[in-house]
């Protein structure tokens, strides 16, 4: 099997997916049972981070939540998350920082973060 270098990397997300499957058939003579199978596989393309512009720049994401009680707005909660780079290599330390602006009048309790690939 030969895979062209320009095919995209496997991906599954909330808005779509790219998957690859391999199919195999064994054609047996006459009245014997033919065999066939299909299996998914994941394809990862090599990515050279040195070729990406601005990869060493910091990254920032912001999300807000507006709180309402019946029809009255009671305030907002804003979360900003920062990382020191936009791309990392295996084993490299990822430095994250956050800012929380709570103007809702409600306690936030604790904040939990996770990395999702």
What pTM does this model have?
A: 0.55
Interval 40-57: pLDDT, tens: 988 888 778 888 889 899
Q: How many domains does the chain have?
A: 2
Same domain, 31 and 57: no
The length of the chain in residues reads 117
Same domain, 93 and 61: yes
The residue-averaged pLDDT of 75-95 equals 89
Same domain, 56 and 91: yes
Read off φ and ψ for residue 96, nearest 5 degrees. -115, 145
Task: State how far the alpha carbon of 98 is from the alpha carbons of 82, 87, 93, 115, in Å.
Answer: 6, 18, 16, 14
The residue-averaged pLDDT of 12-31 equals 88
Neighbours of 113 (CB within 10 A): 8
Residue 84: left (phi > 0), alpha (psi -120 to 50), or beta?
A: alpha
Between 84-88, 90-94, 107-111, the lowest mean confidence (pLDDT) is in 107-111
| Position 1 pLDDT exceeds 70 | no
Do residues 61 and 86 make contact, with C-beta atoms less than 8 angstroms apart? Answer: no
- The reported pLDDT for the residue numbered 82 is 93
Pairwise CA distance, residues 111 & 96, whole Å:
13
């Amino acid at each position: 099997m030969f895979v062209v270098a320009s095919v995209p990397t496997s991906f599954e997300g909330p808005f779509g997916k790219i998957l690859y499957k391999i199919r195999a058939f064994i054609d047996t003579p006459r009245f014997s049972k033919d065999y066939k199978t299909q299996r998914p596989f994941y394809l990862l393309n090599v990515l050279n981070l040195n070729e990406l512009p601005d990869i060493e720049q910091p990254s920032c994401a912001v999300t807000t939540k507006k709180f309402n009680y019946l029809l009255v707005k009671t305030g907002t909660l804003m979360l900003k998350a920062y990382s020191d780079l936009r791309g990392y290599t295996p084993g490299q330390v990822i430095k994250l920082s956050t800012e929380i602006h709570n103007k809702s009048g409600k306690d936030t309790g604790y904040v939990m973060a996770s990395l999702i690939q």
